[in-house]
């Protein structure tokens, strides 16, 4: 019990084989040895191991209020700004490990779950048992340091109709029946990042349901182990092509995988149900519990780490091939600095203006985090464009490790050296830039940043509609009135001329 080591995380996956499909086959045997999952499971394990580095103990863990064990800091229910800063410090260490390329390190969902448990009264409004369920579940996950995945989105079949109005009412995961033991769920959800190698899956409300009776069977929040019978993970193709860390420095380590989740009459025990059939409570769960704020806190920490990493790549390219003196290159690098400082400022503002919410949790200020989560999906594709603009053909004149060590090695040494670096290290840098900006891994990162927190168009709409606009409109009206008064006061008629 308490914060796990990487070995304990890997053992947990081995002990609980789950139904995972990839490349036309079911993963049989040890998933931690499967080519698509071996490297990412080692990377997630490395995150857990950081919790046991004696020099990082206080930076990565805190003392559990229930067991007295040291548990992961992302599970903390912050009570002070200091707690928030400690949590973001911990999140930054995890994000730095992968340059922000493991978007779904477990801290993202841990922070959300901690907030939901603090807001257990919200779930109790649906049913008093659900309030106890979410609290108990949070403690269970925290004390066992489990790795969570989540799935919110309905299958992309026909977006012009709600879940009940699809070609088949069982496309979207819904409740088929209730038993004394729990609810039975049939249908599918999208898109569980890290799903096949998580311990548990949260199946939470997603798109805004209409609030009519027909949506009730689609309205629920629950969590179950990933090896629950009938639960299937349908993976996309792996972007870890089994190449060396030199050839694919990111894809060979941080390919976190995304999977469609199918529920083939899955029994969800009542003690794991947190919301059921109450459409309004389902629609409000992330906002009303402030879980979305705490998750956004992790996201902005990750954005800082990722922007630092991309800026590091871009400025290294500029230096290595001698383009750093050109004005337009400096302008592009300055753009990355602006993005970095913007993200840092959002994070700092959110922590500095944090306040205790109605659930008693010290909660980062939402306005800067909400602005950040709307802005970054627009800035990240531009960051990647800058890498492409600076790297140019160098992102394609890119031999592999085998070429460097093979018969053409001397040619590479001569023609692919940089201004101040040998060919080996120049190619190594450019392969990293390629993996961040052009490989399947890199392209998926752009898509991830565009969409993972929701459809950017609807997110922007929600930002606009929820933002307090009256004070600004009133100010403009007052300004216009003032102009009129001044005109009247200074006009010849008013002066009696
Ligand atoms: C790489 C990656 C990883 C993840 C995820 C996505 C991606 C790309 N997601 C899913 C993510 O939450 C999801 O992509 C967004 O919410 C958008 O939903 P759809 O992808 O279904 O697009 P959707 O089909 O809704 O939209 C497609 C297009 O249609 C437009 N559109 C659709 N409906 C509209 C409407 N009503 N009004 C206006 N425009 C509309 C959109 O603006 C968009 O341009 C996820 N989810 C999850 O639960 N867990 C996870 O771990 C992840 N991980
Ligand atoms: O749906 C929401 O309101 C917030 C949300 C979006 C994406 C996600 O991964 C978690 C929560």
List pLDDT tens digits, range 398-412. Answer: 999 999 999 999 999
At residue 489, the pLDDT reads: 81
Q: Ligand 1 center to residue 376 CA distance, Å?
A: 16
**If you take atom 21 of ligand 1, which residue's CA is the nearest one?**
156
Mean pLDDT (the chain) is 96
- The CB-based long-range contact list for 94-97 (8 Å cut-off, 24+ gap) reads 94/47, 94/50, 95/301, 95/302, 95/304, 95/305, 95/306, 96/305, 97/43, 97/46, 97/47, 97/50
φ, ψ (nearest 5 deg) of residue 402: -65, -35
Q: What is the mean pLDDT of residues 89-104?
A: 98
pLDDT above 60 (res 81): yes
Q: Whole-structure pTM over 0.90, yes or no?
A: yes
Q: Please state whether beta strands 19-22 and 362-363 pair in parallel, antiparallel, or not at all (unpaired).
A: unpaired
Q: Is the pLDDT of residue 196 over 70?
A: yes
Only one residue has tokens 């085998």, namely 402
Quick check: 497 pLDDT over 60? no
Least distant ligand from the CA of 285: 2
Could you give the CA distance from residue 44 to residue 13 in angstroms, rounded to a whole number? 12
Q: If you measure from the C-alpha of residue 153 to the centroid of ligand 2, how many angstroms do you get, rounded to a whole number? A: 9
Evaluate if residue 443 carries a pLDDT over 60: yes
Mean pLDDT of 276-281: 94
For ligand 1, atom 16, the nearest C-alpha belongs to 454
Q: In the chain, pLDDT over 90 holds for what percent of residues?
A: 95
Residue 159 labeled ligand binder: yes
Q: Would you say 206 is a known binding-site residue?
A: yes
The mean pLDDT of 104-132, rounded to a whole number, is 98
- What do you get for the CA distance between the two ends of the chain, in Å? 89
The mean pLDDT of 299-314, rounded to a whole number, is 98
Residue 291 CA: nearest ligand 2 atom is 11
Largest CA distance in the chain: 97
Q: Which pairs count as long-range contacts for 135-142, CB under 8 Å and 24+ apart, including other chains?
A: 136/271, 137/113, 137/223, 137/272, 137/274, 138/75, 138/113, 138/114, 139/66, 141/75, 141/110, 141/113, 141/200, 142/64, 142/71, 142/72, 142/75, 142/110, 142/114
pLDDT of residue 211: 75
Average pLDDT over residues 460-468: 94
The ligand 1 atom at the shortest distance from the C-alpha of residue 204 is 48
Ligand nearest to the CA of 193: 1
pLDDT at 495: 53
Residue 150 is labelled as binding a ligand: yes
pLDDT score, position 238: 98
- Residue-level pLDDT at 124: 98
**Is pLDDT above 60 for 424?**
yes
pLDDT tens by residue, 254-275: 999 999 999 999 999 999 999 9
- Domains, the chain, in order of start with CATH, read 6-287 (2.40.110.10), 290-466 (1.20.140.10)
Residue 108 known to bind ligand: yes
Q: What share of the chain has pLDDT > 70, as a percent?
A: 99
When computed from its CA atoms, the radius of gyration of the chain, rounded to whole angstroms, is: 25
pLDDT (mean) for 456-460: 94
* Residue range 183-209: mean pLDDT, rounded: 94
Q: Name the residue with tokens 């003392």.
A: 63
Interacting residues of 327 by C-beta distance below 8 A, sequence separation 6+: none
pLDDT score at 359: 98
- For residue range 340-369, list pLDDT tens digits in order: 999 999 999 999 999 999 999 999 999 999
The pLDDT, as a whole number, for residue 483 is 87
How close is the Cα of 448 to the center of ligand 1, in Å? 10
Q: Which of 451, 374, 496 is nearest to 152 (CA)?
A: 451
Is there a binding annotation on residue 207? yes
Which ligand has an atom closest to residue 153 CA? 1
Give the residue, out of 112, 159, 449, with the most ligand 1 atoms within 8 A of its beta carbon, to mutate for a pocket test. Answer: 159
What does the pLDDT read at residue 344?
98
- Asked if 113 and 202 count as a contact pair (C-beta separation under 8 A), the reply is yes
* Spatial separation of the C-alpha atoms in residues 204 and 220, rounded to whole Å: 6
Nearest CA residue ID for atom 7, ligand 2: 453
Q: Show the ligand 1 pocket: residues with CB < 6 angstroms.
A: 150-153, 156, 159, 190-193, 258, 444, 447-448, 451-452, 454-455, 457-458
pLDDT for position 119: 98
The alpha carbon of 285 and the centre of ligand 1 are apart by a number of angstroms equal to 18
Q: Which ligand number lies closest to the CA of residue 109?
A: 2
């Amino acid at each position: 019990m308490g914060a796990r080591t990487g070995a304990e995380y890997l053992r947990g996956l081995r002990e609980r084989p789950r139904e995972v499909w990839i490349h036309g086959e079911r993963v049989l045997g040890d998933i931690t040895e499967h080519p698509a999952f071996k490297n990412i499971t080692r990377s997630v394990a490395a995150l857990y191991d950081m919790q046991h580095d004696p020099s990082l103990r206080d930076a990565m863990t805190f003392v559990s209020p229930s067991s007295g064990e040291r548990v992961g800091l992302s599970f903390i229910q912050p009570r002070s700004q200091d707690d928030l800063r400690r949590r973001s410090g911990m999140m930054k260490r995890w994000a730095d490990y992968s340059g922000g390329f493991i978007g779904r390190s477990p801290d993202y969902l841990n922070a959300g779950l901690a907030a939901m448990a603090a807001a257990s009264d919200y779930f109790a409004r649906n049913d008093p048992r659900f309030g106890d369920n979410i609290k108990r579940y949070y403690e269970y996950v925290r004390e066992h340091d489990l790795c969570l995945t989540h799935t919110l989105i309905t299958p992309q079949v026909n977006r012009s109709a709600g879940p009940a109005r699809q070609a088949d009412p069982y496309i979207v995961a819904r409740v088929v029946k209730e038993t004394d033991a729990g609810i039975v769920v049939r249908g599918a959800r999208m898109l569980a990042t890290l799903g096949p190698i998580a311990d548990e899956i949260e199946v939470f409300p997603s798109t805004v349901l209409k609030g009519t009776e027909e949506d009730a069977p689609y309205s629920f929040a629950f969590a179950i182990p990933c090896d629950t019978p009938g639960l299937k993970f349908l993976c996309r193709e792996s972007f870890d092509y089994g190449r060396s860390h030199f050839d694919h420095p990111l894809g060979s380590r941080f390919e976190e995988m995304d999977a469609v989740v199918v529920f083939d009459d899955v029994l969800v025990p009542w003690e794991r149900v947190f919301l059921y059939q109450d459409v309004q409570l389902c629609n409000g769960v992330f906002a009303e519990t402030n879980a979305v704020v705490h998750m956004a806190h992790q996201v902005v920490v990750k954005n800082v780490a990722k922007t630092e990493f991309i800026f590091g790549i871009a400025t290294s390219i500029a230096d290595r091939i001698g383009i750093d003196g050109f004005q337009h290159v400096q302008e592009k690098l300055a753009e990355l600095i602006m993005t970095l400082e913007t993200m840092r400022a959002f994070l700092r503002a959110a922590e500095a203006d944090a306040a205790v919410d109605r659930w008693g949790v010290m909660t980062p200020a939402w306005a800067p985090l909400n602005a950040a989560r709307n802005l970054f999906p627009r800035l990240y594709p531009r960051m990647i464009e800058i890498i492409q603009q600076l790297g140019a053909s160098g992102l394609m004149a890119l031999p592999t490790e085998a070429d460097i060590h093979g018969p053409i090695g001397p040619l590479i040494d001569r023609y692919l050296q940089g201004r101040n670096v040998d060919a080996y290290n120049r190619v190594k840098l450019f392969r990293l830039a390629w993996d961040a900006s052009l490989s399947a891994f890199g392209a998926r990162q752009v898509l991830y940043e565009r969409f993972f927190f929701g459809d950017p168009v609807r997110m922007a709409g929600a930002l606009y509609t929820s933002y307090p606009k009256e004070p600004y409109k009133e100010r403009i009206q007052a300004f216009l009135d003032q102009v009129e008064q001044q005109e009247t006061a200074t006009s010849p008629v008013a002066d009696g001329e």
